[in-house]
Amino acid sequence: MPVELVRPEWGLIVPELILLGTIALVLAGDLALPRRQHGVLTWVALAGLALSLLSNLTIDWAAGRSTFNGMFQADYFSLFINLVVGVAGILSVMIASAYVPGGDEPGDMPLPEYLALLLLSILGTMLVGAAGDLLMIFLGIEMGSIAVYALTGFARRRVTALEGALKYFLLGAFATAILIYGMAWTYGATGTTALADIAVRLRPVVTGSGGVEPSLLLALLLLAVGLGFKIAAVPFHMWTPDAYQGAPTPVSAYMSVVPKVAGFAAMARVLVEALGPLSDSWLTLIAVLALVTMVYGNVVAIAQRDVKRMLGYSSIGHTGYILVGLAAFSGLSPDDRSVGSMLFYLLSYAFMNIGAFGVVTWLQTRGLGVTLDDFRGLATRSPLAAIAMTIFMLSLMGMPPLVGFYAKYYVILAAVQADLIWLAVAVVLMSAVSAFFYLRVVAVMYFNEPSGEWKVQPTPLLGTGLALMALGTLMLGLLSGPVLDLAQKWVQAFGVA
């Protein structure tokens, strides 16, 4: 049986190739440079990420081409994921800069390995965003996850870090098994693993009948569960707070965003692109998951005093909000706002959440801990850090005109258009509930007297990162028009075709 050998279009994977080159450079630098010069590698990583981000300009996304026999798709969706992940990566590296070398974490954290793992995880997420086949989704997610398992346990002299890593790893592998079992059933039910082909083969099966064949449903649900774990949807979320709390704070910042982006990208690719014809079956599931997730995450966050853990639960709550966007899916058409609102939310979430963890890092580099008490009187010690944290908290809460408000607004708009009024109401209610724990941080910073030792330490790159994120949180709302346009473009491409 002859097999077509198709020449791959290398031009389409330039951002990924640049990132791979950066990883190689970082690893080479690890070997070539003496240990005290490893700080240079931070700049190498930043430059590589920036270059990779810029190289997106060289690709014609409008054409929506795919290469490597359909394994890789270069369309507006992968562009936006590249954008989110690239920005999140740059911000994460900036945050890690003050923490990893030296730092207060017990354990010497080797910077080159840290950066290499971070970049590998970013690369994996970009591949998920561009995946054209279940296999690529699987490999991309695994590449991201394996790197993050190791990052979680990076401070390996601290038992809690290893505990977080172990929990994340065992449950992650468990969920991966469920995910690939779902992929196997998808393959069994449709005879293919290519996303586009799956949709094509499903269309005649689904139309007209009152129910869906059990094997197809099993495939769909196992996939949903496996991906639900990656995005930390209730009840598959339980690793999240433990892993966030245990991991070194810059890693928590990173893993609260990028692996989640990978999960949502995979969800959009699988559920929307491949299993779109089955949307009647999964929409209710996603809507219910969204409700349960946001209620649980926001309510339990109230009971936390460890800020990292609180942010862990709050990130579960945000997963719920983003799922609302997905639940509003109405078919791949230009009118559909669901995927656009989801993508926009992910980008804004990157700014505000990495920012919040960044301020925690800022405190840690100054010798404080991670509980609410450590935030006491921050406003008098470092007014700028307090202002930044206030901006992030208010944005996470959804206060206009910060970007968090716009993100929620677009999600609610999508939900209302899809007649999911109850879900939209739930988002508003849960935002109100979330005010309890977000504002508590703000109140503690401004109205309490400082306690604990405070040692002054210059961390210019971390400070710049925080300033950038605060600025992004402030400005992205004002720029929401063009950004949302870009996020919408993927579904609009389907309207033209």
Partner 1 sequence: MANWIFLIPLAPLIAAVVNFIFGRWYLRDRAHWLAILGVAISFGVSVAVVAQVARDEVALSQHLYTWIPAGDFQVPVTLTVDQLTAVMLLVVTGVSLLVHIYSVGYMHGDPGFYRFFAYLPLFVFSMLMLVLANNYLLLFVFWEAVGLCSYLLIGFWYRRRSAAQAAKKAFVVNRVGDFGFGLGVMLIFVHLGTLEYTGVFAQVGALPQGTITAIALLLFTGAIGKSAQIPLFVWLPDAMEGPTPVSALIHAATMVTAGIFMVARSWPIFAASPDAMLVVAIIGAATAFVAATIGLTQYDIKKVVAYSTVSQLGYMAFALGSGAWVAAIFHLTTHAFFKALLFLGAGSVIHAMHDEQDMRRMGGLKRHLPLTYWTFLIGSAANAGIFPLAGFWSKDEVIVGAWVGGRPIVAIVGLVAALFTSLYMFRVVFLTFHGPERFDAHTVHPHESPPVMAVPLLILSVGAVFAGFLGVPPERGVFHRFLEPVFSGHGAEVHHVSTATTLTFGLISTAVALAGLGLAYAAYVRGAIKPAVVAARLGPLYQLAYRRWYFDEIYEALIVHPLYRLSVWLWRVVDIGIIDGAVNGVAGLVNFTAQRWRRVQTGLVANYALAIALGTVIIVGVYLIVGSTLFQ
Partner 2 sequence: MSELTATHFLTLSAALFIIGMLGVLIRRNVLVIFMCIELMFNAVNVSFIGFAWEQHSLVGQTFALFIIAVAAAEAVVGLGIIMALSRRLDTVDIDQVHELRE
Partner 3 sequence: MSAEVLVFDILGAIAVLAAAGVVLARNPVHSALALVVSFVNVAAIYVILRAEFLAAAQIIVYTGAILVLVLFVIMLVDPDNLPEFHGGRPVQRLLALILGLALLGEVMAAILTRTIVGQPGPWSPQAVAAVGGNTQALGRVLYSGYVLPIQVTAVLLLAATIGALVLARPDTPRVRALVRDTATISLAHPRGSEMANGVEPALPALAAGQLKLEAGERTLVMAKSGDDFLDQPVWGERHQS
User: Which CA distances in Å does 411 have to 182, 321, 341, 404?
Assistant: 28, 7, 5, 11
Cβ closest to partner 2, residue 182 vs residue 463: 182
Choose among partner 1, partner 2, partner 3, none what residue 245 binds, the Cβ cut-off being 5 to 8 Å by kind: partner 2
Task: Select the residue interacting with partner 2 from 27, 47, 184, 439 (CB under 8 A).
Answer: 184
Cβ closest to partner 3, residue 69 vs residue 330: 69
Residues whose CB is less than 8 angstroms from the CB of residue 130 and which lie 6 or more positions away in sequence, other chains included: 13, 16, 72, 73, 74, 78, 81, 82, 136
Cβ closest to partner 3, residue 116 vs residue 397: 116
Cβ closest to partner 3, residue 211 vs residue 482: 211
Distance, in Å, from the CA atom of 315 to the CA atom of 210, rounded to the nearest integer, reads 37
Residue 485 is a binding residue for partner 1 (CB under 8 A): yes
Cβ closest to partner 3, residue 102 vs residue 400: 102
- Smallest separation, CB 380 to partner 2 (Å): 32
Cβ closest to partner 2, residue 263 vs residue 325: 263
Residue 180 is a binding residue for partner 1 (CB under 8 A): no
Binding site for partner 3 (CB under 8 A): 1, 3-6, 8, 20, 23, 27, 68-69, 71-72, 108, 110, 113, 116-117, 120-121, 123-124, 127, 133, 135-136, 139-140, 142-143, 146-147, 149-151, 153-154, 156-157, 165, 185, 188-192, 201, 205, 213-215, 217-218
User: Which CA distances in Å does 83 have to 31, 131, 334?
Assistant: 31, 16, 21
Residue 433 is a binding residue for partner 1 (CB under 8 A): yes
Each residue 59-78 as x (binds partner 1 by CB under 8 A) or -, in order, gives --------------------
- Smallest separation, CB 338 to partner 2 (Å): 29
**φ and ψ at residue 194, rounded to 5 degrees:** -75, 130
Cβ closest to partner 1, residue 60 vs residue 485: 485
Exposed, middle or buried, 359 (CB in 10 Å: 0-12/13-18/19+)?
Answer: buried
**What SS3 state is found at 407?**
helix
Distance, in Å, from the CA atom of 320 to the CA atom of 7, rounded to the nearest integer, reads 42
Distance, in Å, from the CA atom of 5 to the CA atom of 456, rounded to the nearest integer, reads 61
Task: Select the residue interacting with partner 1 from 42, 66, 304, 315 (CB under 8 A).
Answer: 304
Choose among partner 1, partner 2, partner 3, none what residue 160 binds, the Cβ cut-off being 5 to 8 Å by kind: partner 2
Residue 421 is a binding residue for partner 1 (CB under 8 A): no
Exposed, middle or buried, 428 (CB in 10 Å: 0-12/13-18/19+)?
Answer: exposed
DSSP 268: I
Choose among partner 3, partner 1, partner 2, none what residue 449 binds, the Cβ cut-off being 5 to 8 Å by kind: none
Q: What residue type is 106 in one-letter code?
A: P
If binding means CB under 8 A, how many residues of this protein chain bind partner 1? 52
Residue 250 is a binding residue for partner 1 (CB under 8 A): no
Cβ closest to partner 3, residue 139 vs residue 285: 139
Q: Are 424 and 338 in contact (CB under 8 A)?
A: no
Residue 163 is a binding residue for partner 2 (CB under 8 A): yes
Distance, in Å, from the CA atom of 441 to the CA atom of 310, rounded to the nearest integer, reads 10
DSSP 24: H
Residue 156 is a binding residue for partner 2 (CB under 8 A): yes
Comparing CA positions, the residue from 233, 209, 42, 227 lying closest to residue 145 is 227
Tallying the residues shown for the chain, one arrives at 497
Using CB under 8 A, which residues numbered 245 to 304 contact partner 2? 245-246, 303
Query: What tokens appear for 292 in the block?
Result: 């349960």
Task: Select the residue interacting with partner 2 from 88, 95, 96, 165 (CB under 8 A).
Answer: 165
Task: Select the residue interacting with partner 2 from 72, 80, 99, 149 (CB under 8 A).
Answer: 149
Cis ω for the linkage preceding 235 (within 30 of 0) = yes
Concatenated DSSP letters of 106-153: SS---HHHHHHHHHHHHHHHHHHHTB-BHHHHHHHHHHHHHHHHHHHT
Cβ closest to partner 1, residue 18 vs residue 91: 91
Residue 181 is a binding residue for partner 2 (CB under 8 A): yes
Using CB under 8 A, which residues numbered 313 to 372 contact partner 1? none
**What SS3 state is found at 157?**
coil
Q: Which residues bind partner 1 (CB under 8 A)?
A: 166-167, 170-171, 174-175, 178, 209-214, 217-218, 221-222, 224-225, 228-229, 235-236, 238-239, 241-242, 281, 285, 296, 299-304, 413, 433, 436, 458, 460, 463-464, 467, 471, 478-482, 484-485
